[in-house]
């Protein structure tokens, strides 16, 4: 036997005493029931008791059920309570209106007890699943946040000690290069740690995008510098074009985005292109502006046929023992977060072109 406090709470709102008696009698053994005949009383109980489910009549003298539902959905405390409408109305328009204002289901009069029990049970189970999902999301965020903190603490040493050494000791050119490499790698790891939680927020639609002006040429140069050893080992050259003209050393390609996201996005795509490209080939990066900003990356390697259809899906990988299948997935996620689109074309004869496009923002500018 359940204790009263352990039972799910159900609020029944109907101006018919007969309906209230029937539903209360039907549900009282399994649930904690609040049965009221007026909308005003129902809103007060909902606010204070936070029921797990509401059975709501549409026709109530002091306020119709649609308006009650709207008010409940507009309140942060009650917006997540599932509402099942009770009605004698069976028209499609009435049902559509109920769903539009936030209802999850309908029970028609005359009341059929088995139907009521089944729908109440189903929607309470669904609500519990949603609550568990939210709890798991919060738990994952908490774990990620703690992991980030734990990783950042020792990483501070990696980032800060090279600078301290340079200030306290005389170092030769080779040692200076090594210290700079350690510091750069430390900052790279820090960016990766910070991005890990952001990617999860993007997946759940809760990432806050804060656009600024970003120079893609500068980002591409940083990426090429980070991968210089791999580029040299495969004897690959990377050429950058702006509107069909080769970029000069002082070129800029400014668009609206976020530096960290843009770096991570194009670092993923450039790394994929380097891995896929045959040796002694060129990778061509084309930047252009028409009705939108476009960045395309072309390498001479073809995407394996078994992953072409799932190229941007999570865990899609082929013939890469060390691959996670997250690179192109996260690239798509970041592109869409930035308001853009991403696509891929591939063939054995022409290689692979990955194209990202971003909406043009007034005030962005291009300098050759």
For 188-212, write each residue's pLDDT tens digit.
777 777 666 677 778 777 788 888 8
Cβ neighbors of 145 (< 8 A, separation 6 or more) are: 197
Architecture (CATH level 2) of domain 4-111: 3-Layer(aba) Sandwich (3.40)
What own/partner pairs with CB < 8 Å and gap ≥ 24 does 119-126 have? Answer: 119/84, 120/10, 120/27, 120/31, 120/53, 120/55, 120/84, 123/53, 123/82, 123/84, 124/8, 124/52, 124/53, 124/82, 126/82
pLDDT, residue 87, reads 85
Arithmetic mean of pLDDT, 274-295: 93
Mind listing the pLDDT tens digit for each residue in 90-106? 778 878 888 999 999 99
Residue with tokens 């649930």: 31
Mind listing the pLDDT tens digit for each residue in 130-155? 888 878 777 766 666 666 666 766 77
What is the pTM (predicted TM-score) of this model?
A: 0.54
Average pLDDT of the residues of the chain:
85
Residue 34 scores a pLDDT above 90: yes
Residue 187 scores a pLDDT above 50: yes
User: Within its chain, how far is the Cα of 22 from the centroid?
Assistant: 45
Q: Please list the alpha-helical segments (H only) found in the chain.
A: 17-27, 39-49, 65-73, 92-100, 113-168, 173-203, 216-226, 228-233, 259-276, 327-337
Residue 118 scores a pLDDT above 70: yes
Residue 1 scores a pLDDT above 50: no
Binned at pLDDT 50, 70 and 90, residue 368 comes out as very low
What CATH number does the domain located at 212-367 have? Answer: 3.30.565.10
């Amino acid at each position: 036997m359940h204790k009263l406090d352990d039972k799910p709470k159900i609020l029944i709102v109907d101006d018919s005493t007969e309906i209230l008696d029937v539903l209360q009698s039907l549900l009282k053994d399994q649930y904690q029931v609040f049965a009221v005949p007026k909308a005003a009383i129902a809103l007060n109980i909902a606010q204070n008791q936070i029921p797990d489910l509401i059975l709501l009549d549409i026709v109530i003298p002091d306020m119709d059920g649609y308006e009650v539902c709207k008010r409940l959905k507009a309140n942060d405390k009650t917006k997540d309570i599932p509402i099942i409408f009770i009605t004698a109305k069976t028209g499609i328009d009435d049902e559509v209106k109920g769903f539009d204002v936030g209802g999850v289901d309908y029970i028609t009069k005359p009341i059929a007890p088995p139907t009521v029990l089944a729908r109440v049970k189903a929607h309470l189970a669904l609500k519990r699943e949603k609550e568990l999902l939210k709890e798991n999301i919060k738990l994952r965020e908490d774990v990620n946040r703690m992991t980030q903190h734990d990783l950042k603490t020792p990483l501070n040493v990696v980032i800060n000690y090279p600078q301290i050494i340079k200030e306290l000791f005389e170092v030769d050119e080779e040692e200076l290069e090594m210290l700079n490499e350690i510091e750069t790698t430390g900052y790279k790891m820090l960016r990766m740690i910070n991005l890990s939680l952001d990617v999860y927020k993007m997946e759940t639609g809760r990432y806050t995008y804060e656009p600024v002006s970003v120079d893609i040429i500068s980002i591409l140069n940083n990426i090429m510098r980070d991968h210089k050893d791999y580029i040299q080992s495969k004897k690959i050259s990377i050429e950058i074009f702006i509107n069909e003209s080769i970029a000069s050393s002082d070129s800029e390609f400014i668009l609206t985005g976020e530096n960290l996201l843009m770096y991570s996005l194009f670092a993923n795509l450039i790394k994929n292109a380097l891995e896929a490209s045959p040796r002694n080939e060129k990778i061509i990066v084309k930047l252009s502006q028409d009705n939108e900003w476009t960045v395309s990356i072309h390498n001479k390697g073809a995407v394996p046929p078994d992953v072409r259809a799932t190229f941007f899906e999570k865990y899609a990988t082929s013939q890469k023992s060390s691959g996670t299948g997250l690179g192109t997935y996260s690239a798509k996620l970041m592109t869409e977060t930035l308001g853009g689109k991403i696509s891929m074309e591939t063939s054995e004869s022409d290689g692979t072109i990955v194209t990202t496009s971003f909406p043009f923002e007034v005030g962005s500018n291009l300098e050759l």
